[in-house]
Amino acid sequence: MRPFLAALHRYAGLLMAGFLIVAGLTGSLLAWKDELEGALLPGVFRVTPPAPGAAPLDALLLRERVATHFPQAQISYAPLSAPAGHSMQFYLPHRDDAPLASDEVFVDPYTGAILGQRRWGEISEGLINLLPFIERLHDALALGDTGLLVFGLIAMLWTVDCFIGAALTFPARLKQRSPGAKPWLRRWRPSWLLRRHGGRYKLVFDLHRAGGLWLWAMLLVFAWSGVAFNLYDVYAAVMKPIFPHQPVEEVLAAHSPSSAPHLDWPAARARGRVLMAGLADQQHFLIIEENALSHERSLGVYSYKVRSSRDVREQKGLTTVIFDAVSGKQLATWLPTGTASGDTIRSWISALHMASMWGWPFKLLICAMGMAVAGLSVTGVLVWRRKRQGQAKAKRA
C-alpha cells in the first residue's frame, strides 16, 4: 500500500505544484489586502473626518446618492457601516440593457463624495485594481468560471493529498515485534525534525516532510475551505449529511415572492433592526454593529446583517435575519456559530482562510503560511527531480 500512496502523493503534488505556488504567493499578499490598498491609493480607500467626532452620513442616504449618480445601476446592497477611516464601498449591478463601465464605487461617508470607481479585477485600470486582480489569480488564475472549476478540483485533490502525505510520514509497520523495538511515537519523531548535517537533499526532503507535518492542520483548512469557496455543491454534499446546518436555502426555495409593493429601504432597515433585536434576546447574543441590508428582488426578501458575538470575523458580520420584502414577516435566520455545527465549521475555516480574525498577528501568520505552501510545492518538485535523476543514473549503470 505504501508504494501506491507514495505514487499518488508524487503525481498529485506535481499536478498541483504550479497552482499552489500561485495560490500561496498571492494569498500572502491578500492577507494584507486592506492595508495594501490603503497604502497604494489612500485618496480612494481612506477618509478623514471633517472635524473631530464628526458623524458619518446616514448609510441609506449615501445609497440614494449613489443610485442618483448611477441611474442605470440596480443597487440591491447597502453597507450600513464602514471601519473607521475607510471609505464606503457600493456595488453597481447593472441591467442587461444598460451596462456600466464600473461595478464598484467608493464613497466618502462624511460628505457623500465619489472617491473612485472600478470594474473589479480589470488590471488595465491600474493600481486601483491591483489587489482585485491578485485575488482573481488566487481564486481562479484570472480565468473566470473555468479557472474557478479548475482551482476547485485542485482544492479537492489537495484535501485528499493532505491525508495521504500525513500517512506517508508514519513509520513503517514492524514485520515482527522485538523486545527492544522503539514505540511507534518514537519511530515517528524523526519525521518532525530536520537533519541539518545530512547534505542538501536530506535537508530539502526534511523541509518538505516536517514542514507538511507542522503545518498540516492549516494546510487542510486552506484545502477544504478552497473546495467550499469554488465548489460549494461538492462541499455541501460531503458536509450536510454529517453535520447539521441551518435550513436557510430550503426556506428561501419554498418562499413565493409577492408582486405587491415592497418595503422601502428605511422601512426595511427598521424592520430588520426589530427582528435582529428579538433574535438576540432569544438566542442570547450581543449585537456589535449593523453591517448591511440587501434586497433579493427575485426572491422577494430583504436580508439584514450585523456583526454579533456569534461572529468569528472582525469585520463584515454574517449574523442574518431574512424577511419578506412586502409584509416584513421573518422567514429565516442564520447565525455563524453556536446553532448548527456545520455552519460553525464553515464560519471558522472561512475566517481562518481569509485572515479575517485576531488582527495583524494572524495576518502575519497567514502571510507566512502562503509562502510556506509555495515552499512545500517547490521542495516537493525538487525531491521528485532528485529521485528521478537517481533512477535514471541507476538505469544507465
**Confidence at residue 394, expressed as pLDDT on a 0 to 100 scale:** 78
CB 143 within 8 A of CB 98: no
> Is residue 301's pLDDT more than 80?
yes
How far is it, in rounded angstroms, from Cα 345 to Cα 336? 9
CA-closest candidate to residue 350, choices 342, 340, 339: 342
CB 313 within 8 A of CB 357: yes
Identify the residue whose cell numbers are 512545500. 376
How far is it, in rounded angstroms, from Cα 276 to Cα 333? 9
CA-closest candidate to residue 61, choices 314, 265, 299, 268: 265
Q: Which long-range contacts (CB under 8 A, 24 or more apart) does 149-153 make?
A: 149/230, 149/231, 150/19, 151/19, 151/23, 151/226, 151/230, 152/226, 152/227, 152/229, 152/230, 152/231, 152/234, 153/231
**What pLDDT digit, counting tens, does each position of 36-72 carry?**
999 999 999 999 998 888 889 999 999 999 999 988 8
> Is residue 178's pLDDT more than 90?
no
Q: State the first-to-last Cα distance of the chain, in angstroms, to the nearest integer.
A: 29
How far is it, in rounded angstroms, from Cα 102 to Cα 97? 15
Q: Per the structure block, which three cell numbers stand in for 164? A: 495521504
**Confidence at residue 74, expressed as pLDDT on a 0 to 100 scale:** 85
- Angle between helix axes 33-40 and 2-30 (nearest 10 degrees) is 30
- Angle between helix axes 216-230 and 359-396 (nearest 10 degrees) is 100
**Confidence at residue 244, expressed as pLDDT on a 0 to 100 scale:** 95
**What pLDDT digit, counting tens, does each position of 238-272 carry?**
999 999 999 999 999 888 888 888 999 999 999 99
**Cβ within 8 Å of residue 93, ≥6 positions away:** 73, 74, 75, 76, 103
| Averaged pLDDT for residues 19-35 | 95
Q: For all residues of the chain together, what is the average pLDDT?
A: 91
Q: Where are the alpha helices (DSSP H) in 170-199?
A: 184-188
CB 245 within 8 A of CB 232: no
State the pLDDT confidence band at 331, using cuts at 50, 70 and 90.
Answer: very high
Chain-centre distance for alpha carbon 113: 30
**What pLDDT digit, counting tens, does each position of 182-228 carry?**
787 888 998 999 888 878 889 999 999 999 999 999 999 999 999 99
Sign of CA dihedral 249, 250, 256, 258: negative
User: In Å, what is the CA distance from 292 to each residue of 135, 222, 265, 306?
Assistant: 23, 27, 11, 7
| Averaged pLDDT for residues 271-292 | 96
CB 151 within 8 A of CB 139: yes
Strand order from edge to edge, sheet including 287-296: 77-79, 287-296, 301-308, 319-324, 330-334
Strand order from edge to edge, sheet including 114-118: 88-91, 104-107, 114-118
**What is the amino acid identity at position 232?**
Y
- CATH 3.10.450 residue ranges for the chain: 246-339
In the CATH scheme, what is the code of domain 246-339? Answer: 3.10.450
**What pLDDT digit, counting tens, does each position of 76-93 carry?**
999 999 888 899 999 988
How far is it, in rounded angstroms, from Cα 365 to Cα 355? 9
How far is it, in rounded angstroms, from Cα 348 to Cα 367? 18
**What pLDDT digit, counting tens, does each position of 352-391 carry?**
999 999 999 999 999 999 999 999 999 999 998 888 887 7
* Degrees to nearest 5, angle at CA 55 with 52 and 56: 125
